[in-house]
Chain A
Amino acid sequence: MNVFVTPAMLAQVVVSGILSGALYAMVALGLALIFGVMRIINVAHGPLLMLGAYTTYFLYSALGLNPYLTVPVSMLALFAVGVLLERTLVFRVVDAPELSSLLLTFGISIALVNLAQLLFTSDLRSVEYLTGSWVVGPVALSKPRLVAFVFAGALTGLAFLFLRRTKLGKAIRATSQSREVAMVCGIDVQRIHLITFGLAAALAAAGGALIAMIVAIQPEMGQTWTFKSFLVIVLGGAGNYPGALLGGILLGLIEQVASLFLTTQLSEVVAYVLLVVVLLVRPTGLLGGRET
């Protein structure tokens, strides 16, 4: 317990919270897209993020690429993996009861983690490219986190532009509002599902690539990201895509503020209690309702 919180400490946790919140928002947007469009909670979202992190790691360590240039490569690679998974397995459980989709994606999830353990071993690996921090007044800004924040913000912005402005993006939003009406309007819903799943995997991969430059990675790093992303979309309102942004920043802030007063273990408890309370009190999320 820490009762002496100075304004400088508070400023530090707010800044750190916003920095990590942008990453949460970007990764969770992927989960929110799949949930909105396909009504599936993709438990394998975190492991897809892990694969993105390893793609960046190997491109950096084996080919010597600048790790920030590997971000789009990771995204493309995981887009392909996502498309493959959707076309072979996931599309079969789109209309099935939630137990089927939860279990199926869990099965995929443990298979991916196990594959990563076999291929990459469980050693901790890290991409040490940008280290240290910039000090601005009382606040220290970790360099890799700040760059990750910029990347995440830009990619999330691009994703929103895509959803708002392009024909394909509008088709995705239409499908998430009503699949039947989208079909009547001549939208190929199967194809939208495919693209959505690939896009979500790409967003997870971008998260993984950026995280690899911040902390050490290992095959089991993904699972907590699935839970955190779910928490973010619950906070923001499932199916409400701008809500994921708010939810991400909020989760980042809550975690950082909680870390001032509590141990990491108890911060997890706070996050859980928050999840249940929000689900009970405002089941539509803090912003409420589905996007119109």
Chain B
Amino acid sequence: MIRRGAALAALAAVVAGLAAYPGFASGYGVRATLQIFMWIVLASSWNLISGLTGYVSFGHVAFFGAGAYTGAILVAKVGWPWLPAALAGGVAAVLLALVIGYPCLRLKGPYFAIALLGLNEVLRALVSYFEGLTGGGNGLSLPTLDATIPIYYAMGASAASVTLLTYVIITSRFGLRLMTIREDEVAAEAMGIDTARHKLYAFLLSAAGPGIVGALTARDQGYIEPISVFPLATTITMIVMVLLGGKGTVWGPVLGAVVLFVAQEVVWARYPYVHPLLFGAIIVAVVLLMPRGVLGLLQSRYRLPRTI
């Protein structure tokens, strides 16, 4: 109980520190932290469907892109303020997940992974095709607006919400059912779990966060184009973050997002030309050397709770 209290106090201190941070930080510091928040949302969301439920989504950036385009179109063409546009981005991503998830969640293993990979390519093609609405390959510019600090708080709130949501799910019966599906879907079905429904719920929840931060990112950057919001590399980055931190845990994606983002910032600045090569090496190393991630390792060594 004392340890729990201390952990909560430390968490509260971190949250308070991050809330006060823009008051004294440099522009770069705010911008980098904002991006870490974004990655926490993306990694934690991927963790819900893939880490917890075991359905490997290889096209999760599709929801980010769908949210980005929804938000950007609402801001640039309809004149909505960015906050409701961001929420609409989340709604659009969830609707997309509903349409895609209903058929695709019947697919197993690598077939599901590749079907979602294809989804991402298709969305990019469609966005390029409907030029009237999306600007096609030329991209879409948003009216200029200096809202970095409000967006920092919105991203931070999203990251906190997704982490809290993951905690609530992992400690609930719903989460236990998802993990049962991950371990053995047939057994889960035999135990009376409505697997189709549970998988779909997990998928919908995992789409909301990327949709919202997609729209926020579009607003923050002021310009989006198909190749900037649908890159496969973004999906891979979120996967590697989760694997690095520990999949199926609450804090693994957060830890992985922070560590990998900082590492990439350092590498990016020094070796831009060989960045993909180094990233490839990191992926190979994580897969081969620590497939359960940092927290998975600690869990098995120190008998940490499953709900960490």
Question: Chain A: residues with CB nearer than 8 A to chain B?
Answer: 41, 89, 92-93, 96, 98-100, 102-104, 106-111, 113-115, 118, 227, 230, 234, 263, 265-266, 268-269, 272-273, 275-276, 279-280, 283
Contact A266 B125 (CB under 8 A): yes
A114 CA to B272 CA, complexed, in Å = 11
A30 CA to B151 CA, complexed, in Å = 48
Contact A114 B280 (CB under 8 A): yes
> Is there a chain A Cβ closer than 8 Å to B106's Cβ?
yes
A26 CA to B273 CA, complexed, in Å = 34
Report which of B56, B276, B282 forms a contact with A99, defined as CB distance below 8 A. Answer: B56
Interface stretch, picked from B37-45, B79-87, B114-122, B189-197, is: B114-122
A113 CA to B236 CA, complexed, in Å = 16
Count, chain B residues at interface, CB 8 A:
42
Write out, one digit per residue, whether chain B residues 238-280 have a CB within 8 A of any chain A CB (1) or not (0).
0110010000000000000000000000000000011111011
Contact A96 B283 (CB under 8 A): no
For A103, what are the chain B residues with a Cβ–Cβ distance below 8 Å? 236, 239-240, 243, 283, 286-287
Min CB gap B238→A, angstroms: 12
A102 CA to B125 CA, complexed, in Å = 23
For B111, what are the chain A residues with a Cβ–Cβ distance below 8 Å? 234, 279, 283
For A273, what are the chain B residues with a Cβ–Cβ distance below 8 Å? 122
Q: Name the CB-closest residue of A to B277.
A: A114
A102 CA to B50 CA, complexed, in Å = 13
Min CB gap B149→A, angstroms: 35
For B288, what are the chain A residues with a Cβ–Cβ distance below 8 Å? 89, 92-93, 104
Report which of B104, B109, B279 forms a contact with A276, defined as CB distance below 8 A. Answer: B104
Tell whether A108 pairs with B280 under 8 Å between CB atoms, given A96-B291, A98-B56. yes
Most chain-B Cβ atoms within 10 A of its Cβ — which of A108, A275, A279?
A279
Write out, one digit per residue, whether chain B residues 214-246 have a CB within 8 A of any chain A CB (1) or not (0).
000000000000000000010010011001000
> Is there a chain A Cβ closer than 8 Å to B103's Cβ?
yes
Contact A114 B291 (CB under 8 A): no
Contact A268 B283 (CB under 8 A): no
A41 CA to B46 CA, complexed, in Å = 21
Q: Name the CB-closest residue of A to B100.
A: A276
Contact B118 A275 (CB under 8 A): yes
Min CB gap A135→B, angstroms: 33
Tell whether A102 pairs with B119 under 8 Å between CB atoms, given A89-B288, A96-B291, A114-B280. no
For A111, what are the chain B residues with a Cβ–Cβ distance below 8 Å? 276-277, 280-281, 284
Tell whether A279 pairs with B107 under 8 Å between CB atoms, given A98-B56, A100-B287. yes
| 21 pairs from A and B in contact (CB 8 Å cutoff) | A41-B110, A92-B288, A98-B110, A100-B291, A102-B110, A103-B287, A107-B284, A110-B279, A111-B276, A111-B284, A113-B276, A115-B277, A227-B118, A265-B126, A268-B121, A268-B125, A272-B118, A279-B107, A279-B115, A280-B107, A283-B107
> Is there a chain A Cβ closer than 8 Å to B213's Cβ?
no
Most chain-B Cβ atoms within 10 A of its Cβ — which of A99, A102, A118, A265?
A99
Q: Name the CB-closest residue of B to A264.
A: B125
For B287, what are the chain A residues with a Cβ–Cβ distance below 8 Å? 93, 100, 103-104, 107
Contact A272 B280 (CB under 8 A): no
> Is there a chain A Cβ closer than 8 Å to B58's Cβ?
yes
> Is there a chain A Cβ closer than 8 Å to B129's Cβ?
yes
Min CB gap B140→A, angstroms: 17
Q: Which of B121-136 contact A (CB under 8 A)?
A: 121-122, 125-126, 128-129
Question: Chain B: residues with CB nearer than 8 A to chain A?
Answer: 50, 56, 58, 103-104, 106-107, 109-111, 113-115, 117-119, 121-122, 125-126, 128-129, 233, 236, 239-240, 243, 273-277, 279-284, 286-288, 291
For B273, what are the chain A residues with a Cβ–Cβ distance below 8 Å? 118
Tell whether A227 pairs with B117 under 8 Å between CB atoms, given A118-B273, A118-B274. yes
Min CB gap B139→A, angstroms: 16
Q: Name the CB-closest residue of A to B243.
A: A103
Tell whether A276 pairs with B103 under 8 Å between CB atoms, given A104-B284, A110-B276, A227-B118. yes
Contact A107 B128 (CB under 8 A): no
List 18 other contacts, CB 8 Å, given A265-B125, A265-B128: A89-B284, A98-B113, A100-B287, A100-B291, A102-B58, A103-B283, A106-B280, A107-B284, A109-B280, A110-B277, A110-B280, A110-B283, A118-B273, A230-B114, A269-B126, A272-B122, A275-B115, A279-B107
A158 CA to B103 CA, complexed, in Å = 39
Min CB gap A277→B, angstroms: 9
For B109, what are the chain A residues with a Cβ–Cβ distance below 8 Å? 98
A107 CA to B283 CA, complexed, in Å = 5
Q: Name the CB-closest residue of A to B286.
A: A103
Min CB gap B59→A, angstroms: 11
For A106, what are the chain B residues with a Cβ–Cβ distance below 8 Å? 236, 280, 283
For B58, what are the chain A residues with a Cβ–Cβ distance below 8 Å? 102
Most chain-A Cβ atoms within 10 A of its Cβ — which of B119, B273, B281, B288?
B288
Q: Name the CB-closest residue of A to B111.
A: A279
Min CB gap B235→A, angstroms: 10
For A234, what are the chain B residues with a Cβ–Cβ distance below 8 Å? 111
Most chain-B Cβ atoms within 10 A of its Cβ — which of A41, A98, A103, A283?
A103
Most chain-B Cβ atoms within 10 A of its Cβ — which of A263, A272, A275, A280?
A272
